[in-house]
Amino acid sequence: MTLERCYRRCPHCKTHSFPVEVTLGLTTRYTTALTQFATRCCGLWSYELAAENLAELARVHLSHTTIGKIANATAEKIATTMDDNPAFRETFQKAKGRSEFYMDGTFVPILNADGTREWREMKVAALVKRLLGMSALPEEWGTRKLPKPSVVYAFASIASKEEFQELCQQERRRLGVGNVSSALGDGAKWIRNIIREVFGKTDECLDIFHALEHVSDCGKVLYGEGETFTSWLDKMRLVLLSEGVAGMDRELQSLEEELKGKSNKLKRESVGALRKYLHSHAERLNYCERLAEGRVIGNGLIEGACVRTWWVVG
């Protein structure tokens, strides 16, 4: 069915209106339902894909530019609502579980006002509450089932480190969070600094996948890619999860002894670089204790948020 609306135009102020909208009390161009549908679509996809899916699912045809304008207007409305709405704090405070903090950054393509394009870093963070899971052994780390978060409060901004640190302080105060039981990240210095400035000394954890990525890179230099490498990586993974920096230091020091006097300088440097990296995160490698307590050891939650943010913005 095709519906046509006859608009009236004011010759003085040059505006258009549809009389029925005034009668129904519609003060904005788009209804609340359409606004919710459009913003939900652009929260899942880029503006162009959101426009295509909106047309396919609801037979509502809006340009991707219009979708973007609706999203921006809705974001401003949400920000205003958050400033004077105690429900956010109440919801977070009532949620069950321990408080966790995650933070990371991702680069997104930006279209400037002058039409130029550039890549800029968008910093993303999340305050989470989660119940403890079942105790697990190091060898069970990949198969254990963790409880889903009872509440997630995420925020992001294209800002400097100092600006984002102040944003973290602002959101922490908004939710009434004094400290967190866990702070997880990929080990970047700027993330560590913000965590300490905002929450003070807390139980930090280096994302296990980032730690294993460094171990794997070293193994490829030592053994290439094959059964020997796979066997070594399996062994070192269990050592890292079971003994942390102490166990890894023992194994890597033994490797360095074996490589003494050999001509392959690159292998010795790779082992030395891995030891240095792990020592710089010595206090963040308490995986065995965290597994035993049923706590998280990976920051997949924020990694997923970064991927989603890149996809939507891109």
Q: Which two tokens stand for residue 91?
A: 């919801």
* CB contact at 8 A, 300 and 148: no
- The band of 112, judged by pLDDT with boundaries at 50, 70 and 90, is confident
Q: What is the pLDDT of residue 245?
A: 96
Closest CA to 153 of 176, 186, 133: 176
**pLDDT tens digits for 141-186?**
989 999 999 999 988 888 999 999 999 999 999 999 999 999 998 8
How far is residue 243's CA from residue 278's CA, in Å, rounded to a whole number?
12
Which amino acid makes up residue 231? S
Answer with the residue of higher pLDDT: 122 or 27. 122
**Is residue 250 left, alpha or beta, with left meaning phi > 0 and alpha meaning psi from -120 to 50?**
alpha
The number of CA neighbours under 13 Å toward the Cβ of 37 is: 17
How far is residue 48's CA from residue 56's CA, in Å, rounded to a whole number?
13
Closest CA to 103 of 182, 213, 201: 182
How far is residue 138's CA from residue 248's CA, in Å, rounded to a whole number?
14
**pLDDT tens digits for 231-281?**
999 999 999 999 999 999 999 999 998 888 767 788 999 999 999 999 999
The number of CA neighbours under 13 Å toward the Cβ of 263 is: 0
**pLDDT tens digits for 24-81?**
666 667 777 888 888 887 766 777 888 888 888 888 888 888 888 888 888 788 777 7
Q: Angle formed by the axes of helices 47-58 and 32-44, to 10°?
A: 130
What's the whole-model pTM score?
0.77
